[in-house]
Amino acid sequence: MASKQPQAGYEINIDVGGTFTDFFLKDPEREVRLSKTPTTHYDLSVGFMRGIKDLAKECGLGQNQLLSQTRAVRYCTTVGTNALIERSGPKLGLITTAGFEDTIFLGRARSWADGVTVTENKDLARINKAEPLIPRDMVVGLRERVDSAGNVVCPLQAEEVLEKLQLLVDRGAMGFVVCLLWSFANPVHEQAIKQIIEEEYPEDYLGSMPVTLSCQVSPKQGEYTRFVTTVVNAYIHGVMAEELNSLIHDLRSSGYTRPLQLVQNTGGMKKVSRTRAVLTHNAGPVAGLHGAAILGREYGQQDIVFTDMGGTSFDIGVITDGRLKTYDFIQVIDRWRTNIAAIEVKSIGAGGGSIAWLNELMDNALQLGPLSAGSMPGPACYDQGGEEPTVTDADLVLGYLDPDNYLGGEMLLAPELSEEVIRKKIADPLGLETAEAAARIRALVDANMGQEAFNEVALKGHDPRDFMLFTCGGAGPAHACGFAPYLGVSKVLAPYYSPVSGAYGASTVKVRQVWDHSATQKLFRYKDQSYSSDLESFNRVVAELKDLAVRDLRLEGYSEDSINFRLELDMRYGMQYNLTKVISPHLILENPDHIKDICDAFTQEYSRVYSPEATFLQGGINVECFYLTATVEQAPPSWNPAELAGPAPPAEAAREPRRAYWRSQGGFSQTAVYDFHHLLPGNQISGPALVDARHTTFVIEPSWRFTLDQFFNGVLEPV
């Protein structure tokens, strides 16, 4: 499969998942290769370099030869997320304004519910607030104050800073987080504190310590989310820096000479030295969603439900009008409510490694997840010590997976272990046959995924039947016919790259960054019912953000002429609490009519979301936050369609039939099996049937039809 625009050099794209690390490579002729290796959680660079070696072997090269000829390595990492989950970050000290030392401990009214599952949320008697990343004895307050307008009310005293700094050092601080009140309006005190710390502990001393400022990480209103965002960034920064430095060293010593680029959850990409740690969370699913939007253009499809069923989780993203949407409210990372402008992707614990269990408190009701067997020990059939039944074990018992051809034969499965663990843990306690227990596990995971995908679309005011469903992930094509009916879609697309959708998506992501800043601007005044004529205040904020964008991207080697800017605004009526994000029709205001244009754009978007009857111009219109997106444009990937063959698969595509379980047909039956890599575009296969690919399996249920289209993508349709 080749694209239209050849470029010199290899491109390697990597997505680290909870169970597998995925690779997507483009060679100089734009041919692509896919690869998967088990994720090595003890040291992610081991699995990373193992995958590079496998790709080099496929290209007929040595590892060093491949990397020396590689023009880009793009990376979606879970290092920071793991540090939060495992609480393995450094001991930090928090410096704040006196009187606000308890901000991160008091939290919000419902901060105890942030990041918990629906089931946990219902169990009010057992829910607790998350243990803070910084303990109370590592928080100090300074007698200083900047007011909401940015005026210095109480000057900062250097002597007090040094005194409190020494206190934190004596208590074991390995880094400092500085979050002062209203610092986004005037960062002078935060910057002064950083200067004092760096003078006290200069970089050339072994005792130098990193300093993270909220005015740089999160210059936005709302002290709790601003404090938490800055703390999370600082907490995972050190762990990520250590892991990435090791990875970069391995790449350098193997011949790679260019910067390692990190995909961000804002939908962009930057090199490691210009990336904030907090922006790497959930980057893999965001990259996959971005890739789905790009591929959707080949089909003229702008409304897409993207799903990715991997080994650990099931990711869901919604694309409307060809656009990726940021979170309406606030993104929660682990248990922490942040304020980053991330692309919205929902994840639930429903993957191939999700563990099935019986809930004794609910009369032995069958439950699934959120715990996962991961890559180690993995499902029982991996024969690595796993003792819990998983979705993969159920699929193997039902005959859908080929135990001798898992991952193209690189990993052999043990079906007898799957049968034993499902019989012992599920079937016998429920008085069921092993196959029926496995079928119930499969039906439950399909129901969970289908209902969550339906909710993500329908509860946002859309009709799922108007969307195309993309099924990705190593387990996605095996379960698509099971969860697609919950959405009522007429077509399911399983892309050629579906087993490595995050890695493919990384190849489509542009160099892009979002700069944001809270600044209230009253565009329509309710007092005198008139539009503002103050263009300068608005333009000043945009100019400051633009200067930051140009500076950062110049350091990446791009000229200002190659950068495209887009301005988004958080707006609301008067003192309304909820904000509505609007794309500004103007980057710079040149005349008063431009203010009216922005207000009209807000009214139109507000009408679309809440209905025209909800608009209320008389209440006044305010801008509360500015988001400037800077993008370095590049030609999107585009694939040449192949000529279509007839509907009948060629004889060499047929494999030995195997017994598979079809509940609608009463149990096991001999089922036709095909080799995906021998099928031709235009071939059609009616269910029940199985199509084995190297990194996934298509399970074609009865009353479904599989078609390989002109782009080598699998299309599943109910008949």
Residue 5 confidence class, pLDDT cut points 50, 70, 90: very low
Within this chain, do residues 165 and 109 fall inside the same structural domain, yes or no? Answer: yes
The pLDDT of 409-413, averaged and rounded, is 87
pLDDT in the model for residue 113: 80
The pLDDT of 635-650, averaged and rounded, is 83
pLDDT in the model for residue 2: 40
Within this chain, do residues 599 and 476 fall inside the same structural domain, yes or no? Answer: no
Residue 268 confidence class, pLDDT cut points 50, 70, 90: confident
Within this chain, do residues 474 and 436 fall inside the same structural domain, yes or no? Answer: no
Asked if residue 344 belongs to a domain, the reply is yes
Q: Give the Cα separation of 271 and 285 in Å (integer).
A: 19
Of 460, 476, 508, the domain-final residue: 508
The pLDDT of 497-508, averaged and rounded, is 92
Of 241, 271, 298, the domain-final residue: 241
Please name which of 229, 429, 443 lies closest in space to residue 327, comparing C-alpha atoms: 229
Within this chain, do residues 429 and 500 fall inside the same structural domain, yes or no? Answer: no
Asked if residue 643 belongs to a domain, the reply is no
Q: Give the Cα separation of 337 and 341 in Å (integer).
A: 12
CA angle 49, 54, 60 (to 5 degrees): 125
Please determine, for residue 8, whether its predicted confidence score (pLDDT) is greater than 70: no
pLDDT in the model for residue 576: 87
Residue 1 confidence class, pLDDT cut points 50, 70, 90: very low
Please determine, for residue 329, whether its predicted confidence score (pLDDT) is greater than 80: no
Q: Give the Cα separation of 496 and 3 in Å (integer).
A: 14
Look at the chain and report how many structural domains it folds into.
Answer: 5
- Residues 641-665 as b/e (b if ≥16 CB within 10 A, e otherwise) read ebeeeeeebeeebebeebebbbeee
User: Where in the sequence is the domain holding 300, given as residue range(s)?
Assistant: 285-351+445-508
pLDDT in tens, 129-166: 888 899 999 999 999 999 999 999 999 999 999 999 99
Within this chain, do residues 235 and 325 fall inside the same structural domain, yes or no? Answer: no
Mean pLDDT score of the chain, rounded to an integer? Answer: 89
Within this chain, do residues 370 and 381 fall inside the same structural domain, yes or no? Answer: yes
pLDDT in the model for residue 370: 79
Asked if residue 596 belongs to a domain, the reply is yes
pLDDT in the model for residue 401: 95
pLDDT in tens, 331-364: 888 888 888 888 888 888 888 899 999 988 888 8
CATH assignment at residue 309: 3.30.420.40
Within this chain, do residues 602 and 515 fall inside the same structural domain, yes or no? Answer: yes
Asked if residue 164 belongs to a domain, the reply is yes
pLDDT in the model for residue 328: 59
Asked if residue 25 belongs to a domain, the reply is no
Within this chain, do residues 198 and 96 fall inside the same structural domain, yes or no? Answer: yes
Q: Find tokens 């596990």 and name the residue.
A: 441
Of 405, 440, 475, the domain-final residue: 440
Q: Find tokens 């036709």 and name the residue.
A: 672
Within this chain, do residues 519 and 537 fall inside the same structural domain, yes or no? Answer: yes
Least confident span in 81-85, 281-285, 491-495: 81-85
Asked if residue 7 belongs to a domain, the reply is no
Percent of the chain with pLDDT over 70: 96
Question: In the chain, helix, strand, coil percent, each to 5?
Answer: 35, 25, 35
Q: Give the Cα separation of 180 and 226 in Å (integer).
A: 10
How far is CA 468 from each of CA 283, 431, 718, rounded to the nearest angstrom? Answer: 23, 40, 13
Within this chain, do residues 455 and 310 fall inside the same structural domain, yes or no? Answer: yes
Within this chain, do residues 549 and 676 fall inside the same structural domain, yes or no? Answer: no
pLDDT in the model for residue 617: 92
Asked if residue 186 belongs to a domain, the reply is yes
Q: Give the Cα separation of 60 and 287 in Å (integer).
A: 28
pLDDT in the model for residue 558: 84
pLDDT in the model for residue 240: 84
Asked if residue 641 belongs to a domain, the reply is no
Within this chain, do residues 367 and 347 fall inside the same structural domain, yes or no? Answer: no
Query: Which DSSP symbol is given to 89?
Result: S
Q: Give the Cα separation of 448 and 372 in Å (integer).
A: 15
pLDDT in the model for residue 119: 67
